[in-house]
Every structure is written in structure tokens, then in C-alpha cells.
Amino acid sequence: AGEEIDETTSRAQAEMSEIMVSLPRCSVYFTRQYRGFWIREFVLEGMAAAQASFEPRPTDVFLASCPKSGTTWLKALAFATLNRATHSPSDSDHPLRHHNPHDCVRFLETRPVPETMALPSPRLLATHLPCSLLPSRITECGRVVYVCREPKDAMVSFWIYSNKIAAVLRRQLGLEAPLPTFGEAFELFCKGQSSSGPNWCHALEYWEESRRRPGKVLFLKYEEMLQDPIGNVKNLAAFMGCPFSCAEEEAGVVREIVQLCSFEKLKNSEVNKNGNSAMMGVKNDVYFRKGAVGDWKNYMTPEMAARLDKIVEEALQGSGLTF
Ligand code: A3P
């Protein structure tokens, strides 16, 4: 069966490599426009592999997001919640004290499919793929938790992050990555050209899926999580099928998980201050910057903000989704 998967996967990846060269390309972020979304080239191949041979299980939980929307935080919270019987959040040896959340929960599209397939149940996986590009079996079978973030803040976070990782991408992929100015990155973002963009269309697809199948897709907002982390973690646990018992709540387990995964705790841990992520080979500190709401005000003019707001508002009109 392993060989069969390998063969199917290789064929799908080869087909995607062939298709890819004819797709519109953004040379700033090494993305291609595929079925309406701008996806990194190396991700497209991984996506094709997953579409061809990944088999979901009913116990799978997928953490989905557009980049820079709180993925790292959601990975930490979901990992700590789902594995609390094995790793108490107060444990000094807890994996999140010694590993970056991205090394505890890996992305489906950037990991070899056989490796993901071999994980024991319940599997906790992540994806930046838009809902429409996920293997359809996933939304039919497993559960998806989506986190979205106000697009102006996501844009600022993305610009700073992509400039930081440009050097690594250059080295790893042998590509030249020109560093865009803020103004250039803003123009690209407004045209939907960010990683997995348009950012708001990404959120809209999962939003609609969450309304179609509320038991299968939980839709979270970064800003609401910051406002009420305890309430959101309780919801997350119930959705993942491992609700907190009254005894756990009384013992403060939810609070301990929130503290373990807090921005300050994660940012200041040794592994995240000085370690390197196994996932991309980048320094772990790139995933922790300010963790605040409204930082866009320090980067965008009111005109820029109004322009992006209008684009987003028009795209989401009538959907019920607002930021
Ligand atoms: P800023 O760049 O605005 O600070 P992602 O994890 O999807 O890449 O998103 C990164 C954003 O989430 C960054 O935002 C980062 O600082 C913030 N972040 C990371 N860990 C966090 C945490 N534990 N709590 C809140 N925000 C966090």
C-alpha cells in the first residue's frame, strides 16, 4: 500500500509541476494563481500529493487558516487541549515548552503524505489551503477549525514575516526574493496576491462551509480569541470531542492551557527565542512579533485602510461574515 501511495503521489506531483508553469506567477512570493487563489509553488505540489492520496479519518482535526492569522497560537491551543491527558499543561516537560507549535502540529501540504498517514489517531493536522482546494474527503470526514484575522492586521503581519523569511527561501529554494516595500506589498495584497490569498476569500470559503456544516467546521476569530481565550478554548475542546469536565474547569486546567500558549510564554521560551523550526528551517522567533489588534494603524494611511476595507466589504457582502 505504501508503494501505491508513493506512486500515486509522485504522479500527481509531476502533473502539477507540468500544469504550474502555465499558471500566472507572482515573482515576489513565488506563488501561482490556481483556481482563484495565490499558492506558493512548493505548496501546490504538496497539495496535489495530498489530493491524490491522503485518506482522512473521522477523528482527524484540521486547523485551517490564511497565513498570519493566528495559526501558531491555534496549533498550540489545540495541541495542548487534545493531548492534556498525556501532557498536563502544568508539566515542566510539556512539548510546547521545548518545541515550536509548528513542530508539534505539521501542515498537510508540506509533509510527505505517507508520514501524515502513519500518524496515530486522533490526528491533529494543519493547512493553509483554501477550503475549495482541500481534498473534499476532509470536509466530509474529519473536523476543521478555522481561524481568521482582520485583513489589515494580517497584511501587516504578512509583509513583515515574508521579508524576514525571504533570505531563507532564497537559500532553500535557490530563488531570488526581491523584498517589497510596504506600499508594494499593500498593492499586491489588495489584488489578492499574498500567500493563499485573496485573504478574505480564504476566510469566506471556510465561513460558508461552517454555516453549511456547523458540526464539522468551527469558525474562530483571532480578535475574539484574544478577548476571551478561556471561552474560545472551551468551545474548541467541545468541538474537538474532548470537552473539559467540571472537575477540570474547577482545577484550572483551561486557564493553564491558555497560559501555556500565551503570546508572552511562547515568545519568551528558549526554543522560540533561539531555536530553529524543523518545518521551514527559519528561526522560531519569526512566528512571534506583537500579537496585538490594530497594529495596521502604525503602517497604513487612513486612505489605504479605507481602500482595503472597501475591497473586503464588497467581497463579503451578504455573507454575514464581518471583521
Ligand atoms: P503579528 O505579526 O501581528 O504580531 P501565524 O501564526 O498565522 O503565522 O500568525 C502570526 C501572528 O500571530 C503574528 O502576529 C504573531 O505575533 C501572532 N501570534 C503568535 N503566537 C501568538 C499567541 N500565542 N497569541 C497571540 N498571538 C500570537
C-alpha span between 307 and 322 (Å, rounded)? 16
Q: What is the pLDDT of residues 133-149, one digit of tens each?
A: 998 888 888 899 999 99
Task: Please state whether 196 falls in left (phi above 0), alpha (psi between -120 and 50) or beta.
Answer: left
Peptide bond into 198 cis (omega under 30): yes
Q: Which residue of 263, 285, 300 sits with most ligand 1 atoms within 8 Å of its CB, as the best mutation to test the pocket?
A: 263
Task: Tell me if 69 CB under 6 Å of ligand 1.
Answer: yes
Specify the ligand 1 atom closest to the Cα of 290: 4
Between the CA of 73 and the centroid of ligand 1 the distance, in Å, is 7
The long-range contacts involving 278-285, CB below 8 angstroms and separated by at least 24 positions, are 278/103, 279/100, 279/102, 279/103, 279/106, 279/107, 279/110, 280/102, 280/165, 280/168, 280/172, 281/168, 281/172, 282/164, 282/165, 282/168, 284/100
**Residues 199-214: what's their mean pLDDT?**
97
Task: Report the helix count and the strand count for the chain, using DSSP H and E.
Answer: 17, 7
Amino acid at site 167: A
Residue 295, pLDDT score:
98
Mean of the per-residue pLDDT values of the chain: 94
C-alpha cell at 86: 498525556
**Structure-model confidence comparison of residues 68 and 9, the more confident one:** 68
Instruction: Quote the percentage of the chain above a pLDDT of 70.
Output: 97
Residue 227, pLDDT score:
98
The answer to whether 104 and 96 have CB atoms below 8 angstroms apart is yes
Ligand 1 atom 17: the closest Cα is on which residue? 291
Task: Tell me if 67 CB under 6 Å of ligand 1.
Answer: yes
Least confident of 60-74, 110-124, 171-185, 243-257: 171-185
Residue 184 has pLDDT above 80, yes or no: yes
Residue 174, pLDDT score:
72
Ligand 1 atom 10: the closest Cα is on which residue? 68
Model confidence band, residue 56 (pLDDT cutoffs 50, 70, 90):
very high
Between the CA of 40 and the centroid of ligand 1 the distance, in Å, is 20
Between the CA of 263 and the centroid of ligand 1 the distance, in Å, is 7
Q: For residue 23, what are the contacts with CB-CB under 8 A and spacing of at least 6?
A: 32, 33, 34
Model confidence band, residue 168 (pLDDT cutoffs 50, 70, 90):
confident
Residue 73: exposure state from Cβ atoms within 10 A (0-12, 13-18, ≥19):
buried
Residue 1, pLDDT score:
59
Specify the ligand 1 atom closest to the Cα of 76: 23
Model confidence band, residue 72 (pLDDT cutoffs 50, 70, 90):
very high
Name residue 127's beta-bridge partners.
Answer: 64
Q: For residue 140, what are the contacts with CB-CB under 8 A and spacing of at least 6?
A: none
Specify the ligand 1 atom closest to the Cα of 226: 25
Model confidence band, residue 3 (pLDDT cutoffs 50, 70, 90):
confident
Residue 175 has pLDDT above 90, yes or no: no
C-alpha span between 66 and 107 (Å, rounded)? 12
Q: What is the pLDDT of residues 93-131, one digit of tens each?
A: 999 999 999 999 999 999 999 899 999 999 999 999 999
Residue 55, pLDDT score:
92
Residue 73, pLDDT score:
98
Specify the ligand 1 atom closest to the Cα of 67: 7
C-alpha span between 120 and 122 (Å, rounded)? 6
Q: How far apart are the first and last CA of the chain?
A: 45
Q: What is the pLDDT of residues 212-252, one digit of tens each?
A: 999 999 999 999 999 999 999 999 999 999 999 999 999 99
C-alpha span between 73 and 285 (Å, rounded)? 13
Residue 2, pLDDT score:
66
Between the CA of 74 and the centroid of ligand 1 the distance, in Å, is 9
Q: Which residue of 264, 287, 295, 298 sits with most ligand 1 atoms within 8 Å of its CB, as the best mutation to test the pocket?
A: 287
Point out the residues that are catalytic: 128
Residue 84 has pLDDT above 90, yes or no: yes
Q: For residue 181, what are the contacts with CB-CB under 8 A and spacing of at least 6?
A: none
Least confident of 253-257, 260-264, 269-273, 275-279: 275-279
Specify the ligand 1 atom closest to the Cα of 262: 23
C-alpha span between 223 and 221 (Å, rounded)? 5
What ipTM, to 2 d.p.?
1.00
Residue 48 has pLDDT above 80, yes or no: yes
Task: Tell me if 25 CB under 6 Å of ligand 1.
Answer: no
C-alpha span between 32 and 39 (Å, rounded)? 5
For helices 151-173 and 182-190, the axis angle rounded to 10 degrees is 110
